[in-house]
Amino acid sequence: MPAYQYRCRTCDTSFEVRRGISEPAAVNNPCPDGHVDTTRVFTAVAVSRGGSASASPVPVPSGGGACCGGACCG
């Protein structure tokens, strides 16, 4: 079951809601203190390339260069 992150605009509390994929996302999700002015927080998802779960992460190029991260861009 997916977990969704929410933040309360009233008390600034962050909390998690677990909901099935088939359930509507627009349902009111009050914070643990009962406030209903909440918003969903979009978080980054880790994605890996390759086959197994133990695969090494893909290296990210480092270095200078504003347009291409230091690669040879003319």
Q: To 5 degrees, how large is the angle CA 25–CA 17–CA 55? A: 95
Q: What is the pTM of this model?
A: 0.53
- pLDDT 10s digits, 24-70: 766 778 999 999 999 989 877 778 776 665 555 666 666 655 566 55
CA dihedral for 61, 49, 15, 37, sign (positive or negative):
positive
Distance, in Å, from the CA atom of 17 to the CA atom of 26, rounded to the nearest integer, reads: 12
- Residue 11, pLDDT > 90, answer yes
- pLDDT 10s digits, 14-26: 999 888 888 876 6
